[in-house]
Chains A and B, each alone.
Chain A
Amino acid sequence: MMDLSTKIYLDYAATTPVDERVVEAMLPYFSRDFGNPSSVHGFGQQAEAALENARERIASVLQTSASEIVFTSCGTESDNLALRGAVLSQRTQRGANHLLITPVEHHAVGHTAEQLARYYGFELEYLPIDQYGCVDPQDVKARIRPDTALVSVIYANNEIGTINPVDEIGVVCREHGVLFHTDAVQAAAHLPINLEAAQIDLLAIGAHKFYGPKGVGALFIRKGSNLVPSQTGGAQEYGMRAGTQNIPYIVGMAEALRLARLERSERSGKLIPMRDRLIGQVLEEIPGVRLTGHPERRLPNHASFVFEGVDGNTLSMMLDGAGFACSSGSACKTGNPEPSGVLLALGLSPAWALGSLRVTLGKGTTPQEVDQFLSVLPGVVERVRALQG
């Protein structure tokens, strides 16, 4: 086994460690309270109670009703169910054939939309974005058509951290009677989400971004949204998602989201100053660097950059060698450098876009770790630049 005890983890947007309180909450549901919530007997009733209790908790954090929460296996599955389910239903109900998304979606939305266009004949249109990857609600208004089946705009971007004005976009969609979905997988860890007030119809989350376990997610489906289920079978999850529910993971997600809500301001209060110091110092001290994403309207833990003349993959590798686990927007473990579509959509040239670095902080991050990172980064960037020369 590799010894990672001396490594500093700065990749909380990729995933987070499961909070020990969450593990505690999950443990009884593996071997002791193991029932199938669909069963009639006591074991089943106990499991069903745990399931519905978790649903209630999640609904209360999101300020909505439990009957509007559907459990899935991850954020990606939630996005799939939202997109596929909404557009197929809208086409059947009213012949709507137009799908409006942004060019900076996570692949869970982007690739699903492309498949819907290519194999199902939907007309896919991309909303314009500004240099920060932000959508203007007026552009949504201008592009919505009578046959628009769904608008999907990412809540907070995983690669560049930008937060979109989803409340205003929701209002525009509601005015035009069009369903609005948002991928809130990154946002749920950090931002207050009030579905009672917002005009969002569909919202996807995944537990492992907020110190819950991998392999579980949820989709908020506003009453009356009428989706076609993508996974068919039994009647679980109001018929929206067949398959026996993963009780320990669902319980874990509910507890993790409750803690995220409870500790939100405390966590953000710690994260934002560290983030701002990190961004400020990198921009000041390293030549040939740009911040990607919005300077203010961004996730509290998220710093992302592009470096001119740097290979992002090599940079991540060198940083890992120096003891810091970060990621590159262009990164992929196979060493195949493709500039990120999100960064190209911001108008960056491939030469800049290949040099991306994402540093995302979390509960475990200390100001000392940020200092250590800042003391190492300039030298590493310089060494990687020398290799490109």
Chain B
Amino acid sequence: MTVNNRGVKVVVAMSGGVDSSVAAALLVERGYDVTGMMLRLWSEPGAEEANRCCTPDAMGLARKVADKLGIPFYALDAKAEFHNTVVRYFTDGYLKGVTPNPCLVCNRNIRWEFLLNRARAFGAEFLASGHYARIHRREDGRFELWKGIDPHKDQSYALSMLHQEQIAQTLFPVGEFTKPDIRQKARDFDLPVAERAESQDLCFIGDRDYRRFLNEHAPDATHPGLIRNRKGEVIGRHNGLAFYTIGQRKGLGIASPTPHYVLEKNLATNDLVVGKEDELGQKTLVAHSASWILGEAPGETFSAQVKIRYRAEFASGMVFPLDASHFRIEFDEPLRDITPGQGAVLYNGEVCLGGGIIQESFE
């Protein structure tokens, strides 16, 4: 294996975290000609330290790792591209009344477009990252995206909008391992990042509350309004539709003997529609921006396991492609928190088939 890889140029997207550092180390160990690159995505005057993944501190760590591994390291500026695609997608989503998932767009347009293009121009055959996912080459030469081995860390959800040619030029070295394995490897490689904490929040918001971020960056998405029940009766006031998600129970401030849940956001009237637990639950969703890893839907109708959020459990259902960019899912059991703007990502066992962005849901 080592012999075959010798001289094959790979660029690793490094963040200064454990996973991408071990990814780089594994590739070096396997004989690749590895170069580290880090994207500067975001900085806000006065809050340079708030974001997680491209702070001077994270960059210093990534440089240390690169030095330890004896690989070149470069920082690339992608602030304008990140702002114009990812951050704008995020704020626009809230302005449209949905709960967007910017990571899907970031992976597709920033990491696997902006960075992949630069890696290719640099002479690399592959772009690697520290994502927990796997790539499987089929007999017909096409590539499948598989879940990472570790079910607690699988990140295929956030990669589900990548296209065939992007995946064909990608390596996910850590996807074959569990997170505890990777931490152990970081210690074995003596990387200075072995004990670093997980990053989980949106990188450009970091430790801060996303509500504050929206107040600053999309103030129009945060107008207070009325809370109504299904009958149209006013039963409370909300702080801005952007601050609520479908299925949410806490923080509604409704005085009532039984709990209320967010059922719907009505952007036209700026009303938040809530109801009792038995009013929750929908069995059908329609998704737009359909994207298939193999380039086309697996069939006219097919069954799949579906994730409706990154952290959701898998739910079984039948998928009906409607046209090139839309599909409908009918779930076996109703789901309480189908949220427009989040990805609906489809799986067949270990294989991630692709997905789309949830447009609406029905009972």
Contacts and interface: CB of A to CB of B under 8 A. Distances in A.
A383 B121 contact: yes
A318 B117 CA distance: 12
A314 B59 contact: no
Contacts of B74: 317, 320, 335
A337 B77 contact: yes
A334 B35 contact: no
A317 B122 contact: yes
Contacts of A336: 40, 77
B24 to A, nearest CB: 13
A314 B38 CA distance: 12
Contacts of A3: 70
A224 interface: no
B117 A321 contact: no
B121 A335 contact: no
A313 interface: yes
A321 B71 contact: no
Interface in B66-87: 70-72, 74-77
Contact of A386 (B77, B121, B122, B123): B121
Contacts of A117: none
Give the interface size class of chain B.
10 to 19
Interface in B45-102: 56, 59, 70-72, 74-77
Interface string B183-197: 000000000000000
B38 A335 contact: yes
Tell which of B56, B59, B74, B123 has the most Cβ of chain A within 10 Å.
Answer: B74
Nearest to A333: B75
B77 A313 contact: yes
A384 interface: yes
B163 interface: no
Given A321-B35, A334-B40, A314 B76 contact: yes
A387 interface: yes
A37 B308 CA distance: 75
A2 interface: yes
Nearest to A316: B74
A184 B117 CA distance: 42
A315 to B, nearest CB: 11
A387 B74 CA distance: 16
A335 B118 contact: no
A25 B117 CA distance: 49
Contacts of A197: none
Nearest to B123: A321
Contacts of B38: 335
B40 A318 contact: no
B56 A334 contact: yes
B212 to A, nearest CB: 25
A320 B35 CA distance: 11
Contacts of B40: 334-336
Interface in A1-54: 1-3
Nearest to B71: A2
Interface residues of A, number: 20
Interface string A142-160: 0000000000000000000
Interface in A293-320: 311, 313-314, 317-318, 320
Nearest to B119: A321
B72 A320 contact: yes
A314 B35 CA distance: 14
Nearest to A3: B70
Nearest to B9: A321
A311 B80 CA distance: 13
A320 B72 CA distance: 9
B70 A1 contact: yes
B117 A387 contact: yes
Contacts of A383: 121
Interface string B298-341: 00000000000000000000000000000000000000000000
Contacts of B77: 311, 313, 335-337
Contacts of B39: 335
Given A321-B122, A387-B121, A313 B76 contact: yes
A282 to B, nearest CB: 20
Contacts of A335: 38-40, 74-77
A340 to B, nearest CB: 15
B120 to A, nearest CB: 9
Nearest to B122: A321
Contacts of A1: 70
B196 to A, nearest CB: 20
Interface string B10-43: 0000000000000000000000000100111000
B118 A314 contact: yes
A3 B70 CA distance: 8
A334 B121 contact: no
Contacts of B35: 321
B48 to A, nearest CB: 11
A334 B57 CA distance: 11
A387 B118 contact: yes
A152 B39 CA distance: 39
B289 to A, nearest CB: 25
Contacts of B121: 318, 383-384, 386-387
Interface in B121-139: 121-123
B201 to A, nearest CB: 23
A270 B185 CA distance: 52
A334 B123 CA distance: 22
Nearest to A382: B121
Contact of B75 (A320, A334, A384, A387): A334
B258 to A, nearest CB: 54
A320 B75 CA distance: 13
A382 to B, nearest CB: 10
A191 to B, nearest CB: 34
A63 B79 CA distance: 51
A333 B73 CA distance: 10
A335 to B, nearest CB: 3
B27 to A, nearest CB: 15
24 contacts: A1-B70, A2-B70, A2-B71, A2-B72, A313-B76, A314-B76, A317-B122, A318-B121, A318-B122, A321-B35, A321-B72, A322-B123, A334-B40, A334-B75, A335-B39, A335-B76, A335-B77, A336-B40, A336-B77, A337-B77, A383-B121, A384-B121, A387-B117, A387-B121
Closest 5 CB pairs of A and B: A335-B75, A335-B77, A383-B121, A317-B74, A335-B40
Given A335-B77, A383-B121, 11 more contacts: A2-B70, A2-B71, A313-B76, A317-B76, A317-B122, A320-B72, A321-B35, A333-B75, A337-B77, A384-B121, A387-B118
Interface of B: 35, 38-40, 56, 59, 70-72, 74-77, 117-118, 121-123
